[in-house]
Structure 1
Amino acid sequence: MENTILGTTLICQVAVIVRDVEKATRRFAELLGVPVPNIIMANEDGSDTVSYMGQPTKGRVRLSFFHMENLVLEFIEPTEDPTTWKEFLDIKGPGVHHIAFKAKNRMLETAAKLEQFGYSLIQNGDKYAYVESTEDLGVILELLDID
């Protein structure tokens, strides 16, 4: 549905903040009876330009991804870098952090529309943007610049 502010109604990812990404990844793989996916340290090399609350940050985070039939489930373990992920864990503890929508070639344009809608940009990198929507929706919205 291209007439939505998001440009789509398809949720492509759900992300969960955890204290121990190895444990969460291993246990979820056991639950599903699938191989344990790799755990990566995102932005370890600093190649992604990350901004949190308008300020630059290294934005490193430990991640694993489960490619389900209908979406990707992401487990996120924050580092000490200032990020929305660390803030979430520090304040709320583990839980669902965001749901994501594809916004290929229109990520910042869509973020600007969401800003007008009342959801401010809180963090972004080269391929993603988070907008603060928890007061209304109980979850952050992510825009992914992917196909």
Structure 2
Amino acid sequence: MTKNNALGTNVIAQIGILVHDIEKTSQKYADFFGVEKPEWSLTDTLERAKTEFEGNPTDARAKLAFFDMGSLQLELIEPDQNPSTWRKHLDEHGEGPHHIAFFIEGMKEKIAIMESKQMPLLQKGEYTGGRYAYMDTFKDLKIIMELLENDN
């Protein structure tokens, strides 16, 4: 890792993939890798997740299924119809890769650093035990970057 690393890490923790049908796609992944199909979970409501998309509160929710693949996790995401980075990306680009994620410390600081590099915040929210932020790194890095910060 170099001293100029904006995130403080270069270890990819997760790859997020947008899908239309989480049941069907998670079964295909399970069959392909010979593993048990994970149960999907639903993201929290606006009141709990405090989800914001492009600076505005949103009722957006998504079904999530996680596959632990050794050193990283595959996350399948089936968004609802409410405004979100997931819905917008799925509508504009179809199914497939959405983001790569990194575990970071100091969410507000990291968001400020990214924004100073013309990589604006797209969406943020809370989950049990932490928070996430999707940064628009597509122009330079050709994918959205997710920052994950877990509470200690």
Give the TM-score normalised by the residue count of structure 1: 0.94
2:134 maps to 130
Q: CA deviation at 1:64?
A: 0.2
The residue type equivalent to 1:34 in the other structure is: V
Q: CA deviation at 1:95?
A: 1.1
CA contact (8 A) 2:13 2:71 kept: yes
2:49 maps to 48
CA contact (8 A) 1:18 1:75 kept: yes
1:82 maps to 83
The residue type equivalent to 2:80 in the other structure is: T
CA contact (8 A) 1:43 1:59 kept: no
Q: Which 5+ residue runs of structure 2 have no aligned equivalent? A: none
Within-5 A mapping of 1:34-45? 34-44=35-45
Identical aligned pairs, as a percentage? 38
Q: CA deviation at 1:52?
A: 0.2
Aligned-partner Cα distance in 1 for 2:94–2:46: 27
Q: CA deviation at 1:102?
A: 0.5
Give the TM-score normalised by the residue count of structure 2: 0.91
Aligned residues: 146
Q: CA deviation at 1:59?
A: 2.4
Aligned-partner Cα distance in 1 for 2:103–2:57: 24
1:23 maps to 24
Per-residue displacement from partner, 1:31-81 (whole Å, max 9, x unpaired)? 011111011111147411000000001221011000110101000001011
Within-5 A mapping of 1:41-120? 41-44=42-45, 46-104=47-105, 106-120=106-120
Runs of 4+ aligned structure 1 residues displaced above 2 Å come to none
CA contact (8 A) 1:2 1:8 kept: no
